[in-house]
Amino acid sequence: MPRPTTVHICSACGSSSARWHGRCPGCQAWNTLVEERLPAPAARSARGRSGAGGGTARKPVRLADVSTAQLPRLATGIGELDRVLGGGLVPGSLVLLGGSPGIGKSTLTNMALGNLAAAGRRTLYVSGEESPAQIRLRAERLTPSAGEGGALAVPVLAETDLETVLATLESERPEVCVIDSVQTLHDPQLSGAPGSVGQVREVAGRIMQVAKAAEIAVLLVGHVTKEGALAGPRVLEHLVDCVLQFEGERERTYRTLRALKNRFGSTNEAGVFEMRQNGLVEVLDASARFVAEATGKPGSVVLAAMEGTRPLLVEVQALVSPSELVPPRRVVNGLDRNRLALVLAVLGRHAGVGVGSADVFLNVVGGVRVEEPGADLAIALAVASASRGVALRAAGGSGPVACFGELGLTGELRSTAHPNRRLSEAAKFGLRAVISPQTAPTLRAALSAVLGAQTPERAVA
Ligand code: TYD
Ligand code: MG
């Protein structure tokens, strides 16, 4: 009988078993066994010995003696992507690009490789999902006029076998390689299906070894569903140098790119794109568009948000309508559900706006996601305005009202990062009325500034 080459390790208690079990024989936890390759026999016998084993001691280096020569970056030619990466791809680094299916990961990576190829870099696009013909069709769409020099110059490999991909990487030695996607490659030595935790970990780990040795910058594409149900790419976050999240609503055209982890740059940056007929276009004037579209009707307010270090004006809309349901609906798009719950509680308790028997729908227009506490005040103003059916108007100001600020549990407004950048962005786009912790100390004061003296003394609900 051939020796088994893999073992199943419990991710909760670490006990190992030759076969897969639904329930760990060690700790009785369900669904925790993950298949892993056994180390090669030589390595195993060395590890088995007691004491120092078979390793060779090395001399540690003093930090002061470590050279810090700036790593040259590979510019992808997509300004927003380069900025989120911290100035381009670092040679030999491993970047995970996660996002739900159809969001535009293949489009983005194709465009980046096309630009790199046009700049004379050696590139490789490995696809386990599409045939070369399909990839060519997309490349033609992306570069209607660029011709042979851009996206069409990128060599492609349609392959799902990990060993073949690794061998090709070693022989081709590209400077930049895209693996689309990490869930479609598989190591035939593991019995798990492609995309299973064991496979994804093995695939990424082996690719990393080759990439570091050959100084290949690798962009691993990974599908993540909205609920994060497909555990796949999440297990790689500790392994890779940089985790990028590409998000947005598939039906809408706006997409945001964020860094969740970056060993070579800040995780504060975000890029905004629009999906067009000919690929993704960087949106540099997002604020202007969102402000121009803002309705200024009851339930609408402009939020002066921060996307990393850049201010961004977005419209937040709320609809409050009487409900038959217990508990009533709370539907949120683009904002944190828990923040809405908190803001509704503060509104009811400290500002006399009770929506306990009404459905509340909340939306950030354009499919943008805002994840910062500075959005609290916008949620509160939009809901209060919707629940009253009165549009927000500031004294002396005309046009949409802008705001930002975090809400404290006692009804006070708390300051948020970069107030001046937010204010100057609002001023730049002609929004004169800005409600912020600087202009109103409490939520009640903010409400009376934009809704007049219509705030009752006690909460309804
Ligand atoms: P794709 O990059 O294939 O998504 P992913 O790799 O993340 O699954 O692109 C998804 C959608 O984008 C697809 O439904 C078609 C659309 N699209 C455009 O609108 N314009 C384009 O130029 C391209 C290439 C795609
Ligand atoms: Mg794709």
pLDDT-based confidence at 438, cuts 50/70/90?
A: very high
CA distance 269 to 48: 47
Q: Of the ligands numbered here, which is closest to the C-alpha atom of 102?
A: 1
What's the average model confidence in pLDDT over 312-326?
A: 93
Ligand 1 in reach of 279 Cβ (< 6 A)? yes
pLDDT computed for residue 457 by the predictor: 41
Ligand 1 in reach of 138 Cβ (< 6 A)? yes
CA of 413 to the centre of ligand 1 (A): 42
What pairing do the DSSP bridges indicate for beta strands 123-127 and 156-158?
parallel
**pLDDT over 90 at 287, yes or no:** no
Q: What confidence tens digit (pLDDT) does each residue in 128-187 have?
A: 999 999 999 999 888 655 556 678 889 999 999 999 999 999 999 999 999 998 989 999
Let me know: does 323 contact 359? Beta carbons within 8 Å: yes
In ligand 1, the atom with minimum distance to the C-alpha of 105 is: 7
Q: What confidence tens digit (pLDDT) does each residue in 349-374 have?
A: 999 999 999 999 999 987 788 888 99
Between 119 and 224, whose confidence is greater? 119
Residue ID of nearest Cα to ligand 1 atom 23: 279
Q: Read off φ and ψ for residue 156, nearest 5 degrees.
A: -120, 155
Residue ID of nearest Cα to ligand 1 atom 15: 102
Ligand 1 in reach of 105 Cβ (< 6 A)? yes
**In terms of Cα–Cα distance, which of 150, 170, 168 is closest to 159?**
168
pLDDT computed for residue 232 by the predictor: 56
- For 192, counting Cβ atoms within 10 Å of its Cβ (0-12 exposed, 13-18 middle, 19+ buried), the class is buried
pLDDT-based confidence at 5, cuts 50/70/90?
A: confident
The model's pTM is 0.78
Between 75 and 265, whose confidence is greater? 75
Residue ID of nearest Cα to ligand 1 atom 14: 102
What's the average model confidence in pLDDT over 22-50?
A: 72
What's the average model confidence in pLDDT over 43-62?
A: 69
CA of 212 to the centre of ligand 1 (A): 30
